[in-house]
Amino acid sequence: MNQEELKQRLQPLVANYLHAQAAVVPALHSLLETREPIDNDAIAVIAELCEVDARSIAELVAYYPIFQNGHSSHTEVCFGLPCYLNGAKEVFEQMKAQPNGNGSSKPVNVSSCLGHCYAAPVIRLEDGSLCRALVSKSNNQAEAVHG
Amino acid sequence: MTGQIRLERISNNEFRPHVHAGPLIESLLSDAVGSFDDYVRRGGYDVVRRLAQSSDREEAIQMLEEAGLRGRAGGGYPTAHKWWLVSRQEEEEKYFICNANAGHAGGFKERYLLNANPRRIVEAVVTGALVAGARTAFIALPPQFSAEALLLEDAIAEATAAGFIGPDLQVVVYRTLGSYIIGEETALMELIEGKIGRPRAKPPLPTARGVFNKPTAVSNLETLLHAHYILKHGAQNFRQKGQPQAPGTLVFSLSGHVKRPGLYELPLGTTLREIIFDHGEGLLDDRPLKAVFPGGLSSPVLGPESVDVALDFDSLREIDSDLGSGSVIVVTEPTCMVQVAAQVNDFFYYGSCGKCQPCKDGTQRTSVMLHNLERLDEKSIDRAGKVLPPSLRKRTLNVINNPMAGVSYTDTAEGLDKIRHLSEFYKYRGDCHHSTEAANSIQNLLKLFKQEFEDHRSNSVCQHEGLVTV
Ligand SMILES: Cc1cc2nc3c(=O)[nH]c(=O)nc-3n(C[C@H](O)[C@H](O)[C@H](O)COP(=O)(O)O)c2cc1C
Ligand code: SF4
Ligand code: FES
């Protein structure tokens, strides 16, 4: 999408707000949703429409991890306290030990609370789905095995 | 152990929280199903209709005052007073914010409440905005609540089409960019203004100068639902549950080492014992109780001797803790409290927005010491692993002047005092309560589990079995 097209797309969204600045974050979300690159050109368009300095939008984009790994392809193990208390560390170590297709170990990250502490320990799979993950000691107990 | 990972999917509802409904949740569920017309027929938007007919907001504010509603986000601030402060301002442009952010470990009610009845949420937001006299209302949600955002947008569209949201009120679903600190009201305001969401120094308070410097009322999602409940069912009905100084119910999120974690809507003043043993069905594997965070990680930890404390604002403050937003996290023996402390402090360090150096740097140094407790007597341990050899230091003014590049703040203290003194330093040196909560939390853990910390430090071994695995 070139700058002009982007401008046309975002204009109605910005018009919703009494102060154009209030549309900065909704405009960025709109780009994230359609996986549009948030590069200098996009930032320039948002800056113009929302009447803010492009540098401050660039700072915002650099500050929030959502713009770096909004669509993380790694499994994440929640290390919030309820999950930690219920064995998140073991889940993390087990998941890391599982071999990847190419023989190397799996890329697994830790995350802050995933918002389902009643199901601790909680993980987020590569496809974004959330699961309760338990380390079971025998294979035949397993209902679904993350491989 | 050569274990396998067994998964139960949460995403497609194979696994849901246990929910104990009280009057608020029952009321939410009572008209959650059916068409918008059904909703209106069952009394939906009656409160809004009444408010729209009368230009006098005093009656509604008086009703909230009679009900004694106090904010459910943790501060316990009287909602009537907050809304009145905004309503009395002459300005044309005023804002109302429903704070539905959820970022702290152990709290998981927001998603449930948002899904339970999105129409009611929107009705409650319109109610709050009308009472406060606001022209714009934001429903602030974390970015991962995209499905909930769509449900709310549908509910706004229905209410607008039916004329309950008129041209002089705009209701906006506002998804933030994530992070724990964005739940702090002034951080949220900065983000709404298109800036990085970092808390503002106070005063001015948001009720005087909030979003775009205009009067702004911020209420937590659950508070707002209670306010609507009061205006719908009456102050006396609300007061039937709870305590004289803390009327009504609270939706507690119970997690950690309990048999039945879940959401429990219970009267304020319910004891910890009741919530853990009666509602939560007791402790996992019947192990002895070791500690409880009664209001999430920001509320100072309690020991088993406090199990009969009433969970309300003032009873917890009397024992130097805090109700927070009612996220009760239970810890049993033989959990190692040093590991818990390190985990809790890491939350404060990663959660700090970095605006105030004492907060970010201080919580980081505390984490370094907690993770290296057996080395606590070493010189400059608060900078362990952070001191670069001179050959690797960049010779820029920035780095030479950077106090983080190697200065120790703890070499004048000894033992656990290194942590105590440092945390005392950053306790009140922040633009928001985060640094205070961080310091209170670690100081309380050190006080309550002093011997355990000392054992770790002097014997270099954990006297406990470490963290329990499921
Ligand atoms: C570090 C920090 C994080 C906060 N996070 C939240 C939050 O996630 N949700 C919330 O409603 N309030 C949060 N608050 C409190 C808000 O600033 C504000 O006081 C609250 O939304 C007012 O609601 P109440 O008056 O209904 O209790 C937080 C405060 C601090 C200091
Ligand atoms: S006290 Fe901490 S979290 Fe609060 S504004 Fe300062 S640095 Fe940010
Ligand atoms: S602590 Fe893991 S989901 Fe909340």
- The torsion angle over the Cα atoms of residues B236, B241, B242 and B245, rounded to 10 degrees, is 10
Q: For residues B333 and B337, what is the distance between their CA atoms, to the nearest angstrom?
A: 9
CB B244 within 8 A of CB B227: no
Kindly report the nearest CA distance between residue B381 and chain A, in angstroms: 25
Which of B18, B191, B297 lies closest to A25 in CB terms?
A: B191
Identify the residue among A66, A109, A118, A130 best suited for mutation to test binding to B, counting B beta carbons within 10 A and taking the highest: A118
Which of B142, B255, B331 lies closest to A120 in CB terms?
A: B255
> Locate tokens 């360090």: which residue?
B349
* C-alpha pair distances (Å), B139 with each of B34, B173, B347, B360: 23, 5, 26, 29
Q: For residues B83 and B87, what is the distance between their CA atoms, to the nearest angstrom?
A: 6
* C-alpha pair distances (Å), B90 with each of B134, B205, B244: 11, 17, 34
* C-alpha pair distances (Å), B50 with each of B43, B227, B380: 12, 15, 65
Kindly report the nearest CA distance between residue A8 and chain B, in angstroms: 20
Paired residues of A122 in beta bridges: A132
B115 CA to middle of ligand 1, Å?
20
> Chain B 325-344, CB below 8 Å of chain A: which residues?
327, 329, 331, 335, 340, 343-344
User: Given CB atoms, is A52 within the 8 Å cutoff of chain B?
Assistant: yes
User: ipTM of the predicted structure?
Assistant: 0.92
For A39, which DSSP code? -
B155 CA to middle of ligand 1, Å?
25
Task: Answer yes or no: do A113 and B8 touch at CB < 8 A.
Answer: no
> Chain B 202-261, CB below 8 Å of chain A: which residues?
212, 253-257, 261
Cβ of B105 closer than 6 Å to ligand 3, yes or no, is yes
Q: For residues B248 and B69, what is the distance between their CA atoms, to the nearest angstrom?
A: 8
pTM over 0.80: yes
Residue type for position B240:
Q
* C-alpha pair distances (Å), B78 with each of B81, B82, B84, B258, B419: 6, 7, 10, 32, 35
CB A115 within 8 A of CB A132: no
Which of A19, A131, A137 lies closest to B1 in CB terms?
A: A137
Question: Nearest ligand to the C-alpha of residue A79?
Answer: 3
Cβ of B298 closer than 6 Å to ligand 2, yes or no, is no
Kindly report the nearest CA distance between residue A28 and chain B, in angstroms: 9
Residues 6+ apart with CB under 8 A from B308: B271, B272, B273
Ligand 2 atom with minimal separation from the B351 CA = 3
Rounded (10°) angle between helices B221-233 and B23-30: 80
* C-alpha pair distances (Å), B315 with each of A79, B93, B244: 30, 39, 12
Task: Answer yes or no: do A87 and B170 touch at CB < 8 A.
Answer: no
Per-residue pLDDT of chain B (470 residues; tens, 9 = 90+): 456 888 888 866 667 899 999 999 999 999 999 999 999 999 999 999 999 887 678 999 999 999 999 999 998 999 999 999 999 999 999 999 999 998 889 999 999 999 999 999 999 999 999 999 999 999 999 999 999 999 999 999 999 999 999 899 999 999 999 889 999 999 999 999 999 999 999 999 999 999 999 999 999 999 999 999 999 999 999 999 999 999 999 999 999 999 999 999 999 999 999 999 999 999 999 999 999 999 999 999 999 999 999 999 999 999 999 999 999 999 999 999 999 999 999 999 999 999 999 999 999 999 999 998 988 988 888 887 654 444 444 444 333 334 455 677 888 888 999 999 999 999 999 999 999 999 999 999 999 999 999 998 887 767 665 443 32
